Each structure stands twice: as C-alpha cells, then as structure tokens.
Structure 1
Amino acid sequence: MESIEDVQYVVVHGYRRAFRIAGSGPALLMLHGLACDSSTWVDVMPRLAEHYTVIAPDLLGHGESDKPDADYSLGGYANGMRDLLTVLGIDKVTVVGHSFGGGVAMQFAYQFPDRTERVVLVSTGGLGKEVTPLIRFLTVPGSGLAIAAATLRPWRPLVSGALTSMSKLPISATRDLGEVARIYEALADPAQRTAVQRVTSHVLNWRGQYVTMTDRSYLARLMPVLVIWGRDDMVIPASHADSAPTQVSDVHVLEDSGHFPHRDHPEEFARIVVEFVESNPPATYHRGRWRALLRRGDQYQLESVDPAAAVPVAAAEPAIS
C-alpha cells in the first residue's frame, strides 16, 4: 500500500495534479476545502484505506497541484475530478467533500450521477447563505493586496505561531485556528491566493454564499447521502445541516468539534463513513429514473416509478432520449 505521506502526480490537460492514494477496494474520492489540500485527510486515510481505495487530490490551484489562470468554477472542478479518475482507471466513487469540497462533491454527483455511488458532505458549503466574514472578505476589492501585506515574511511566522498556540486553548471558538494557520501560510503564495479568490468569486460575495444545491436536493432520492458536521463550527454554521437533501441517509453533528470534524475526531469520523458505505448499497444510475425525477421536480414521489419500466407509472408523455 502507498504511504499516506506520498504525494503522486499526473498531468491532465497540461496541468500537474497532485494526489494521495492508498488502500484497495471500492473507491472513495476525498475533496478538501478552500485553501486547504489533501493533507487535511491524513488522519482518516489510514483507517479508510483498510476498506477502500482512497484518492485525495489537491484541487487545482491548491497544495502541490498547478495554479494556472484557469476555470475555478464548481463545474470545472467536477470535470477535473472526472478526468483525474479516468486517468487513474477508476470508474465509480463514493465522493467525500469538506467545506468547499462538499460543493464540488455535490456538483460532481449532479453532473456525473453514473459515476457516483454515494455522497458524504462534511461541514459543506452550498446549503445556506451564512459563512464566516473571513471568507467573505476574500471577495472584497483590494482584499488580495491586504492579504499579501498580512502574509509578508517578517511577521508571517509570528502570526502563524500565535494562531497555532491559540488553537490549543480549551476554547471552542479557537479550536480551528491551527487549520487557519495552515491556510494563512498557503495564502502567502501569490498563485494560490489568486486561485482561492477566483474560487470564492464563483460561489459567494460579501453578503455570503449565493450558489446553492438546495433547489436540486430532491435528486438525492436516487443516491445515498451522509452529512457530518461539527457542533462548534465557526466557519459554516451546523444549522445548515437542516437544509441537507430531503432524502439524506444520515446526519451526524459531532460534539466538541469545529469546522474540521475529520481532524477533531478522526476515529469516529472514519467509523461513521465506513458504516454508511457498508449499510448503503451504491446508487445505480438509470437515465429513465433520472429523467422522471427531473420532470416532476421536488413534488415527484419516487414510489410512483415502476422500476421495471423506469418511467412514471401514470405518465403519458413520450420518453425523451
């Protein structure tokens, strides 16, 4: 088995993509959050790799992947993940997404339901407007210059060290500051800072998140979905779990946990994911069922579908290929 610490590389569309891979068996695609990288999963990857093939990429513009002047939209990221999996010879996955990566996971499942077996959303974006002012600040004109000044070398170690030290205090409000320190260090790289700002411009503005998947949440009736959140999340409120897809398989709000529940409680997180995968058979994509659900929208009841015919029992409309 590959070491969790080993980062591998593959070139897709001319850009280097970094990723970690370990284990064997059914595939889990693990997508990190904004300004983070695949190392956010290192505490849970060994446990998950005992059961699955775990692929944790650095999203384009993050970590050790290239940071080009390119498409940083949700759809672009979903396409990139499809192409990475294709290059790696992996057909179908359970996609796991944290924070912004949760938005990418939902977009991947929406664009490629034939390649998605299950969805796991971890403190995910895309389920509500509220988000920390620190992220909204990235969309304000001039924020790039302000961050560049705030991450200059003379005081960068002092700020990073102070954030890390504060994260060790027994206070829920400072719990995630160790991860914030890592993000602060990452934003010192001008290329990553530009990429992160490009990402934020696609999904939110200074008022909050404006891109949502809640209007399409009824599609989750065709796919098992798990939601995991930290009770003390100061980045995206745990109350957004209430807006999770209506047919969600399970919701876990972990106590004594912030925006990174997989870092706060890696053993419990891995256990929840394994139990979810083992107890929920993979979704099987059928174009007729997908079409029927799209036609009726969120008022459509799955019970009205005849699985043999894969169209509504009472439908009089002709099938559309």
Structure 2
Amino acid sequence: MRRIRANGIDVNVAIAGAGPAVLLLHGFPHTWRLWAEVMPHLARHHRVIAPDLRGLGASTRAVGGYDAGTLAEDAECLLDALNEPTAAVVGIDAGTPVAFLLAMRRPERVRKLVVMESLLGALPGAKDFLRGGPPWWFGFHAVPGLAETVLTGHEAEYVDWFLDAGTLGRGIPQEIRDEFVAAYTGSDALRCAFSHYRAMPTSARQISDAVATARLTVPTMAIGAHPVGNALERQLRPIADDLVAHLIEDCGHIIPLDRPRTLAALLTPFFA
C-alpha cells in the first residue's frame, strides 16, 4: 500500500508484482479491494496497480473533479508518479468511462484496454439495455444532497443491496464487504461517491467529444455479465479498430469478485 500524490490529490494505491504495468480502476460501491482475488493471478507477470478512485476509499475526498476526464488525468498522473510510461488499463462500472477516455486521449499510454459492465455516455448501442430507463439509483444519486442525507446511518444496508445484486445473491468475502461498508460510511464519503454520478452529464459530453474526432485504436476487450450484457460491446463496435468481446454466463455485475478465476483467464492471455 502506498499514498501517491497525483493531479493534486493523494491516491491510495495497492501495488503487487513486477513486469509490464496493469492499472485497475474500480467502480461503486467498491475500493481497490474489488480486485483482491484477481491481483494474485496478474501479479505473476505484471506490476499491478490498483488505486482507490478520487474521493473513494482512502484517497482524497476532493471537492470536485469527479468527471471521467479529470479521473483519467488522475490515472495518467499516477502512472507518471510510478514511472510507468504505459499500462494495460482495466475499468469496471464507474472506472470504465475513465479507462476509455484515457485510451482515447492518450493512446500511447495504454497498451491494452479492458472495459466491463458499464455504458459509455450516450453512445449508440445501448438502446435495448435502456429500454426501461436507466437504473433507478442513477437518478437518486444525482440529486445534490439528497442521497447522503437519506442514507446516513443506513450505509451498510445500502451497500449490501448492491453487493448482493452484483453477485446474483452469492455475496462477497466478509472481510472485503466490511471494508466496502466502512469506505462508504458517513455523509462526506457518500457525497464523494455520489459526486461521480452527478458528474455523469459532463462525462457523457467528454465521451461524445472524444469519439467525434478520433477512433479507439487501442486493442480493446469488452466483458459483459448481468445486467449490462453486450450493451457495452455494441457501443464500442462502430468506433473501435481492434475489439474482442466476451459475455460471462451466470455472473453478476461485480465480475472481479463473483467470477475472479474466469476474469483472470480472460485477462492473462489478452495482456500477453
């Protein structure tokens, strides 16, 4: 574990192994511990870098900067601070737009890109997934001050709902669950978490602007499970030069903890 100054914040980051760098970007309601069961597989041949995103876990609870573009700058500055000129970059959930924008804006820094279980702004291709509207919590989290006021004192129950749904009822290791709950307890921790959602309109504009002027040239893998499925692949297919896609059966949204061995088996040969 290290604390690294990057882009004006202190980033809490776990580092394991040696070799070509792999940068792992988590989502909500997670911390770097989302990758705990995948990191040992990757660390056999790679230097694995797993930060807490801005405002989350033990990283700085910043006032602003929760749009995907700024978070991509955080990631690039972290690589700079660790003397890594390039990395394979993996994003899931809220980490996916971040990884995508880093690859679009700085393709020379991203050797391979893996994105999972998320959508990329308003790019075409997600119509079927969004037919019933976006997930209910997007609107709840987006209202400034509301969710953190309502949920303070009930953080454990709320986080548990996502962890249960995200593993199709199987749950995650108790120690990691407890760390997630602790990381999202308190009004300021919740404010930072929901700031990622409140920045989504800005992130969506950044994504649209990026694809309006360039294609995704980095070799890319899209991985789907439940509930996003192949919606992300459909968004990427028209704009990516080199795309492979996989759908993991009987797997919840939290792929790295629900099916870590399956995920590792996809990532290892792709990075090689």
Length-normalised TM-score, structure 2 = 0.81
Partner in structure 2 of residue 110 of structure 1: 104
Alpha-carbon shift at residue 28 of structure 1 (Å): 0.6
Alpha-carbon shift at residue 194 of structure 1 (Å): 1.7
Instruction: Kindly indicate whether the alpha-carbon contact (under 8 Å) linking 2:38 and 2:263 is maintained by their aligned counterparts in 1.
Output: yes
Partner in structure 2 of residue 26 of structure 1: 20
Partner in structure 2 of residue 226 of structure 1: 221
Q: Distance in 1 between matches of 2:160 and 2:13?
A: 30
Alpha-carbon shift at residue 161 of structure 1 (Å): 9.5
Q: Distance in 1 between matches of 2:159 and 2:87?
A: 38
Percent of aligned pairs with the same amino acid: 25
Q: Distance in 2 between matches of 1:172 and 1:99?
A: 14
User: Match for 1:55 among 25, 49, 52?
Assistant: 49
Letter of the 2:215 counterpart: L
1:1-321 correspondence to structure 2 within 5 Å: 7-126=1-120, 128=126, 130=130, 131-144=134-147, 147-152=148-153, 159=157, 163=161, 167=164, 174=169, 186-204=183-201, 210-211=204-205, 213=207, 216=211, 219-220=215-216, 222-230=217-225, 232-233=226-227, 236-246=228-238, 247-278=241-272
User: Alpha carbon RMSD of aligned pairs, Å?
Assistant: 3.2
Return closer, same or farther for 1:225/1:156 CA change in 2, 3 Å cut-off. Answer: closer
Alpha-carbon shift at residue 118 of structure 1 (Å): 1.2
Note the residue ranges of structure 2 that are not aligned, 5 or more in a row: none
Q: Distance in 2 between matches of 1:22 and 1:212?
A: 32
Q: Distance in 1 between matches of 2:195 and 2:20?
A: 33
Length-normalised TM-score, structure 1 = 0.70
Letter of the 1:243 counterpart: Q
Find the residue that maps to 1:219 and give its secondary structure.
coil
Count of residues paired in the alignment: 257
Structure showing greater relative contact order (alpha-carbon pairs closer than 8 Å, 6 or more residues apart):
2
Q: Distance in 2 between matches of 1:262 and 1:56?
A: 13
Alpha-carbon shift at residue 13 of structure 1 (Å): 4.7
Q: Distance in 2 between matches of 1:89 and 1:172?
A: 36
Residue-by-residue CA offset, 1:132-189 (whole Å, 9 max, x unaligned): 2113311135523xx433331xx555x369749x939xx9754579899876654432
Instruction: Kindly indicate whether the alpha-carbon contact (under 8 Å) linking 1:35 and 1:192 is maintained by their aligned counterparts in 2.
Output: no
Alpha-carbon shift at residue 239 of structure 1 (Å): 3.1
Alpha-carbon shift at residue 18 of structure 1 (Å): 0.4
Note the residue ranges of structure 1 that are not aligned, 5 or more in a row: 1-6, 279-321
Find the residue that maps to 2:215 and give its secondary structure.
helix
Alpha-carbon shift at residue 261 of structure 1 (Å): 1.5
Return closer, same or farther for 1:212/1:182 CA change in 2, 3 Å cut-off. Answer: farther
